[in-house]
Every structure is written in structure tokens, then in C-alpha cells.
Amino acid sequence: MGVVLAALSALGTAWLASGAMGPMALALRNGLAWLGLAIMVGAASPSSRPVWPLSRAVLAAVVGLAAAGGLVTARSTSASVLGVALAAAIVSSWRQGIDRRAMLLAAWSITVLGVYRLVLLSIPGVWLASEHIGAWLGHGAGRLAGRPLAVGATYAGVELLLLMVCVYLSWVVEGGRPWWRRALAALVALAGVHTAYLVLVARSAELLSALPVVQPPAGQTRYMPPPWHWSDVLRAAIPWNLPLLAAAGHLAVLGSAFRWTAWRVSAQAGSSSEQAPHWLWRLQAGRLGQAGPAVAALALGMLAWYVPPPGTLAGKSVLALDLPSTNWSPPEAGRFGRTAGEGFGTLPRLVESLGASFRRSSDLTEADLAWADVLVLLPP
């Protein structure tokens, strides 16, 4: 039961780190991610007989979990997800047999989600495809709900479904036979949970109207926090954090599937070949399968976390055409609207902060053009 809780905690933390739970303050997201990692580590505490020698196991756990914690709290969502995969892979090394297989299953699935996030933010075509899939799911749910639903990948739960598909397929091939009944039952349950979530999103306006309106007390100002009330909490969360309900439903289905699955057992003398581990488990049981999630998560996570040093324009000259209609005044505090964004007074400071020289010219003489490396033509 402890490993089931650890695997579910890892999957939930990965969803949280990917941003699939809806908008959330960075400090809150990091705090919840640390809490999820703590639950995972505590639930999958090392067995009495470590797979590695004790000194090596402790050193690897400390170093690996420290690296995973750093990745999880990164601003890059792909690095955060891969940090969770790294932590899950480390925790899997503490266990043996079926327990390790369950944690490796979660670690590999989370690694796929992390790679997806990295590709999603790097290749426009992948991002557009995910948005189209989200729009298609929303359109179908809107027809069921009787309300049009226009959503993208996040509120359609595309990342929730991606991770669920990875876990589901691995779980199907890792479980014992007959497999088709439990596969069909789990598929129907997962599809039902996600459909119910999308219908709930489509009906979120009705949910908000059904909540009681709490009147602020007399003398309440906008700068004073109002008294706590559950209705205000739900109003702030609907529809923005409704993906939390979808994640909870998916995890409940997975928890039931993990808990009552007759996992394949290792082939022994006299045992039936039908109970021998699937080729996927034989791959995971090897060195590549055990270290693969950790190596991939650490390498790709550091790549996603890396921020190249800022560029420099040292030794360059920037010339701007100075028209009578060009506004060179800097922005003014408290001034808003369209006219507030028409000034270019901060452009010289930006260019000089990068090490270049800046000059304005109203006639663009040959001497000015010969001096300049870059010519800036601003709109009138």
C-alpha cells in the first residue's frame, strides 16, 4: 500500500509541476511539489535489505534527491517534471520486486511527460497539435453538456491524459492475465472521469451562480482581507483550478488499479511461462531500465534548467532615425493607455546596458551611416 501511495504522489506531483492543475502562484506550486515529494519518499521508505550497499544507497539518495528538489522548484515546467521523474527513479531503487516495478512504471511515465513538455515548448507544431486536441475534446464535451466549450490543452487535460495513457499501457502489459477485462474496465473508468470533468468545466457558470454570495462586512475596504468563507474559495478556484478534480479522479482510478492488480511474477522453476515477466519488465529490470529514468531526467532537466548568459553588443553602434513625431520621453508612473506605450525613452538605456553605443540622427548623413552597425527605423 505504501508504494501505491508513493506512485500516486509522484504522478500527482508531476501534474502539478507541469502546470496541468491550472494557474498557481510559484511559491504555492513549489510548496505543494515539495509536499508531494515528501509523501512519496515517506511512503516508499527503504526496505530492510537495500538493493545497493547501505553507504552507496544513502549517498545516491541524498545527492539524487537534492538534485531532484532543485529541478522541481525551477521555473521551467519541463525541468520541474523531470525532477519528479528523477526522484521517483531514486525511490524505485529502494524497493525490490513488484514494488520496484510500480515505481519504475511511474518514473518512466513521468519522464515521457517531461520530454513532452520540453518538446512542446520548443517545437511550434507540437504546441499547435496539442491545442487542436484540446479544442476537439472541449467541443465534444460541450455537445454532451449542452454548452459550448472552447478550451485549449491545459483545461482540456491533454497533459493529464498523456501521463494517464503512459501509465495505463504499462499497467496493462505488466498485469497478469486475463488482461482485457481489467483493461476495458480501467479505460471506461478513466474516460468517464475525464468526460465528467470536461462537462463540469462547461457547466462552471452554473456552478458559480449556485454558490452563495457573501456580503462584505460594514466598513470593509479593498485593502483589507475579507473574512474567510468557503464560497469565496470556490469562486476563486472555479473554473481556473478545476483540473485538480480531474487529477484526483484519475489518481483514484489508478490507485484502485494498482492496489488490486495481480502483477506478473518472476518465472521460477516449475512456474507457468504465462506468468513470466513481460518483455517491458525485463527491459526495466536491466541496468538500462533501472537507471534510464534517472539519467534521462537529470540530463534533460539540466538542459531545460540551463539559461544561457545574456548576449552582448560590446563594440557595436546603433543609430536611430529621429523624426519630429518620435516620442523620446521615458514612461511616466501612473500613466496608462495607448499613449503610455508610444515612448522610446528607454531604448537608449537598453542599448547602452548591452555595451553598444547609441545615437539619434534626423537626416541620416553618410557619416552617420558609416558609423552605425545597426539602423533603427521607428514608426512615426
Paired residues of 293 in beta bridges: none
Q: Give CA separation, 223 vs 231, 333, 334, in Å.
A: 20, 21, 19
Q: Give CA separation, 127 vs 117, 139, 198, 269, 300, in Å.
A: 9, 18, 21, 51, 19
**Per-residue pLDDT tens listing for the chain (380 residues):** 677 888 888 888 888 888 888 888 888 888 888 888 888 878 777 655 555 554 454 555 555 566 666 666 667 787 888 888 888 887 877 777 677 777 888 888 888 888 888 888 888 888 888 999 999 999 999 999 888 888 888 889 898 899 898 888 888 877 666 677 888 888 999 999 999 999 999 988 888 888 888 777 777 676 677 777 778 788 878 888 888 889 999 999 988 887 776 665 544 433 433 444 444 444 444 444 455 555 666 666 666 556 667 677 888 999 998 888 888 877 776 666 665 556 788 889 889 888 899 999 988 899 989 999 999 987 76
Distance of alpha carbon 118 from alpha carbon 301, whole angstroms: 9
Furthest CA-CA distance within the chain: 94
DSSP state of 53: -
Predicted TM-score (pTM) of this structure = 0.67
Would you state the pLDDT for residue 36?
Answer: 84
Distance of alpha carbon 372 from alpha carbon 318, whole angstroms: 6
Helix (H) or strand (E) holding 102: helix 97-120
Q: Report which of 162, 166, 144 is spatially closest to residue 153, judged by C-alpha positions.
A: 162
- Tell me whether the omega of the peptide bond preceding residue 178 falls within 30 degrees of 0, making it cis: yes
Q: Are the C-beta atoms of 304 and 358 separated by less than 8 Å?
A: no
Would you state the pLDDT for residue 249?
Answer: 92
